[in-house]
Amino acid sequence: MTMKAIALSTIFAGSLLAATSANAIDIGFALHTSPPGPEFEAVDKFKELVEERSNGEIRVRTYPSAVLGGERDNVEQLTVNEVQMTLNGDLLVSVIAPEYAAVVTPFVFPGPEEVYAFWDSEIGDKAKAAIKEKAGIDVVAFHRRGDRQLTANKAIPTPDDISGLKLRVPEIPSWVQAWTAVGASPTPVAYPELFSALQMGVVEGQENPCFNINQAKMYEVQSHIMMTAHVPAVFHWSISSKFLDSLSPELREIVVNSAKEAAAYGDQVAQEQIEATCTALVDEHGMEMVEVDRDAYVAAARPAIDELAKNWAPGVMDAVSQYLD
């Protein structure tokens, strides 16, 4: 998205999303991904629950497909209440509270259940408190997005096969370090620009959950999918603290509880659809699925993980070391 477009989207967000009327409080809900996908079913469930439980006092307006900008734009809009809610991916923690970024660092966590356990722990509570203090964002719920998998136009079963690959990664410093250690040449590209970047050869590979690979039709420009499962990706249900704190206690409870319930629903839907979506990339769209030596990838990434851990908050490495040894 160009700077002009971002500026226009910010004006649009500021003028419409935080508006209230005599009859309703509007929640502008931005999504940087495009439908279909479990996150959209979950947000639809949230809209249904909030509007029903508030007797129409709260109205939810959704803005999908990065119409208000990419993930980073949405985070910035959230901090100043230009957008009231969004589903953040792995960028949120890395940008705002990098001292807790182990939870989104490649090749650390083996699965989403372990990620949930981290967020439900004392360390997770400290991470949420840091995000609220630093950015004015309340993270209230999570649901699985699907493991992030590597794609390219060749098979890459081991780190030895990735050497020098121009790999698109999100704008997350720890990811750049991890993938550099593995042997790739990380290149940050905004998600809305990823397909064209692959098409034009600006980057040669990328990594995303199967849902995103399918939604964005990356199978048209990528031939192989490597089952690296390097980040058990989750969506972070995030609310502007300015917005949340402006609500009455009753409405605040409705919003938070509805988000938690909708996230649980989204988690269930995602769990049911992940395997089918990954399989469809092969059976319906012709990608070749490559099983990888994940232990070799973890070992290759370990020096970067150990270096990153020097800047993690006390107790974080202790919480994740069981998954690395």
CATH code of 156's domain: 3.40.190.170
DSSP 8-state symbol, 170:
-
User: Side chain identity at 225, as an amino acid letter?
Assistant: I
Lowest mean pLDDT among 22-31, 123-132, 258-267, 307-316: 22-31
Residue-number span of the structural domain to which 293 is assigned = 3-316
Residue 34 lies in a domain: yes
Average pLDDT over residues 133-141: 98
Whole-number pLDDT of residue 246: 97
d(CA 323, CA 314): 17
Whole-number pLDDT of residue 23: 73
d(CA 265, CA 203): 35
d(CA 202, CA 302): 28
Burial of 239 (0-12, 13-18, 19+ CB in 10 A): buried
Residue 243 lies in a domain: yes
Per cent of the chain over pLDDT 70 is 93
d(CA 208, CA 229): 9
Tell me which of 58 and 192 has the higher pLDDT. 58
d(CA 129, CA 179): 29
Confidence of residue 10 (pLDDT cuts 50, 70, 90): very low
User: Side chain identity at 184, as an amino acid letter?
Assistant: A
Determine the Cα angle at 211 with ends 207 and 217, to 5°: 75
Q: Each residue of 282-307: pLDDT tens digit?
A: 999 999 999 999 999 999 999 999 99
Confidence of residue 207 (pLDDT cuts 50, 70, 90): very high
In which residue are the tokens 């734009």 written? 73
Confidence of residue 18 (pLDDT cuts 50, 70, 90): very low
Confidence of residue 85 (pLDDT cuts 50, 70, 90): very high
Confidence of residue 190 (pLDDT cuts 50, 70, 90): confident
Confidence of residue 2 (pLDDT cuts 50, 70, 90): very low
Residue 18 lies in a domain: yes
Q: Look at the alpha carbons of 7, 10, 14, 16 in this order and tell me if their dihedral is positive or negative.
A: positive
Confidence of residue 169 (pLDDT cuts 50, 70, 90): very high
Residue 325 lies in a domain: no
Burial of 287 (0-12, 13-18, 19+ CB in 10 A): buried
Residue 14 has pLDDT above 90, yes or no: no
Residue 323 lies in a domain: no
d(CA 123, CA 117): 10
Residue 245 has pLDDT above 80, yes or no: yes
Residue 155 has pLDDT above 50, yes or no: yes
Confidence of residue 4 (pLDDT cuts 50, 70, 90): very low
Residue 65 has pLDDT above 70, yes or no: yes
* pTM listed for this prediction: 0.84
Whole-number pLDDT of residue 22: 55
Confidence of residue 34 (pLDDT cuts 50, 70, 90): confident
Whole-number pLDDT of residue 19: 45
Average pLDDT over residues 157-168: 97
d(CA 249, CA 162): 52
Summary mean pLDDT of the chain? 92
Residue 170 lies in a domain: yes
Total domains in the chain come to 1
Please answer whether residues 233 and 89 qualify as being in contact, where contact means their C-beta atoms are separated by less than 8 angstroms.
yes
Average pLDDT over residues 101-114: 95
Residue 55 lies in a domain: yes
Residue 152 lies in a domain: yes
Q: Of 110, 172, 112, 116, which is closest to residue 139 (Cα–Cα)?
A: 116
> Distance between terminal CA atoms of the chain?
41
